[in-house]
Structure 1
Amino acid sequence: MRKYGGVLVHCCRDDLGLIEVVDTYGVRSLHFGTHPKQSAMSLAEPEKLELSYARAMLAGLLFKPEPRKILLLGLGGGTLAKFLFNQFPECRIDAVEWRAAVAEIAYEYFGLPRDARLGVHVSDVNEFVCAEAERRGEAYDYILVDVFDHQGLAEAVNQQDFFSASRRLLHHEGILAINLWGTQTQSLRQSMSLLNLYFERRTMRLQVPGRGNVIGFGFGQHVERAEIAELNQQAKTLELLLGIEFPRLLRLLSYSGWR
């Protein structure tokens, strides 16, 4: 059966709706009943990050290139979790996914490794970060937020308690990156306003070229502001190490409120 211009290889339904896996010209993608891709993976090069917005979410590595503990909010097909797992062998990764069926698809169809170093938690992301912030605080070097449903940014994310708890969970030298949808202007303004509020305007943003995605970044209190030109060599080094276009991402980064 054909779907979204490709071949439907798996389809199931949970309480929140359809979950579909489609192969199109060598790329496997995850869909939630609509055309937009929630995750994508090259079948020929499954270890690489296929989607440009996922690569853009890692621009924070320019400021902290060796994270030891990462929190992923929103697993999807697990392509970002798998990439980080492979590239940072000393790093512990926690991933939170609301839909158990999505987590199973990540393992079965996208090659997410089952390993003690990569913990997958089936939970509401807001409830998870609030509980974890109360329990331990300042636990993660990098928090990556990519929580969308078939309509856009999940409602649970664009809340004061979510941003407050996420800030408390972040190490004082850590970085939070959140994937936002630029065409949803009201939601985007609200998200960036909350990011600036809870990170005391220590923020940056990146418009992903040719996509509707905007990546917002919030920085811990001990991260030093750097001029873009000062990061050129770091960008070239990371490009060689990780195979991601960091020099281009660096040119697209802009300070939102940080002075």
Structure 2
Amino acid sequence: MAKTKRTPVDFSELGGFRYLHFGSEWIQGGMRINRPYSLALEYQQYMLALLFFRPEPKDILQLGLGAGGLAKYTWKYFPDAHTKVIEISEDVYMASRMWFKMPDDDDHLEVVFEDCKKYLAGAANTADWLLVDIYDAEAWGPVYDDVPFYRLCKKALRDGGISSYNVFGGEDFTKSLDNISKAFDGRVLVMPDVAEGNRIILAKKGPKETYSVELLDQRAAELQASRHLPAKKIWKKLKQENNLKGEFEF
């Protein structure tokens, strides 16, 4: 096991939600107490917009565990997929187990303790989905947010694979979007701001594909019923933010 980073962790509760903190007031994850496997935070729901383009992943790679919301969701609702989580802090993992109902590792869930950039250096063509949510206690922005890092992310994806990045909105968003766009040759879509100030960027690897808005409207309705996610709302936001009409390439 790689040497892990020590992280001060605690939690708060408000209005039926439990929130993870890294020794500050910044929220690093959350859980609806009476629905622990649903996605409690809007930005996490938006990260799942990649569902519309790759609805049946076999291998899911997640960078950053937080309270385990994304990992728990894919573990429960994608039982045929294998989710691997790269997390640098064993303290964060233990907090997710004690307070946020993170399940044990099993045949389709694995947590690896390592710096995500070091892990990516040795990963190539291994993931259908890549979910990137990497913040430290200061929460000034993603821990890695440059073109070389995003190129490593691209390398980890298989052709046709898709990635989702939680970045800051506001003035910092343009930098993140430019860097991801450079790494992925402009193959990006964006989600609007959420209340917490985050924004989500989707980036896809491989040859461009043509998608029909009408068919994705239908897919969103199907996913809403089968994946316990407000998929119709997410798809509507994605369409509006990127002005998607008729047929489009991504």
TM-score, normalisation: structure 1? 0.86
Alignment partner, residue 140 of structure 1: 127
- Root-mean-square deviation (CA, aligned residues, Å) is 2.1
Question: 1:48 deviation in Å?
Answer: 1.0
Match of 2:36 in 1: 46
1:153 aligns to 2:144 (yes or no): no
Following the alignment from structure 1 to structure 2, what is the Cα–Cα distance between the partners of residues 120 and 91?
Answer: 14
Deviation at 1:233, TM superposition (A): 0.2
Q: Which has the higher strand share?
A: 1
* Cα drift, residue 123 of structure 1: 1.2
| Contact preservation (8 Å) 1:52, 1:208 | no
2:182 paired with 1:197: yes
SS in 2 for 1:96: strand
Number of residues paired by the alignment? 239
**1:243 paired residue number:** 228
> What displacement does 1:91 show?
0.7
Instruction: Please name the residue that 2:96 is paired with.
Output: 106
TM-score relative to the length of structure 2: 0.89
Q: Segments of 4+ in structure 1 off by > 4 A?
A: 14-17
Deviation at 1:154, TM superposition (A): 3.1
8 Å CA contact 2:60, 2:84 repeated in 1: yes
Displacement, 1:109?
1.4
Provide the identity percentage. Answer: 26
Q: Any stretches of 5+ residues in structure 1 without a counterpart?
A: 1-13
For the residues of structure 1 that align with 2:80 and 2:222, how far apart are their CA atoms?
19
Give the Å deviation of 1:26: 2.1
Q: Which amino acid aligns with 1:119?
A: E
Structure of higher RCO (CA pairs closer than 8 Å, 6+ residues apart): 2
**AA in 1 matched with 2:23:** G
Check conservation: 1:75, 1:103, Cα contact below 8 A: yes
CA contact (8 A) 1:130 1:161 kept: no
CA contact (8 A) 1:70 1:141 kept: yes
Q: What secondary structure does 2:79 align onto?
A: coil
State the one-letter code of the partner of 1:177: S
SS state at 1:250 partner: helix
Q: Deviations for 1:111-145, whole angstroms, at most 9, x for unmatched residues?
A: 1111232111111111111122xxxx111000000
Q: Distance in 2 between matches of 1:237 and 1:201?
A: 29
Local SS of the residue matching 2:211? coil
Q: Does 1:84 align with 2:83?
A: no
Deviation of residue 33 (structure 1)?
A: 2.2
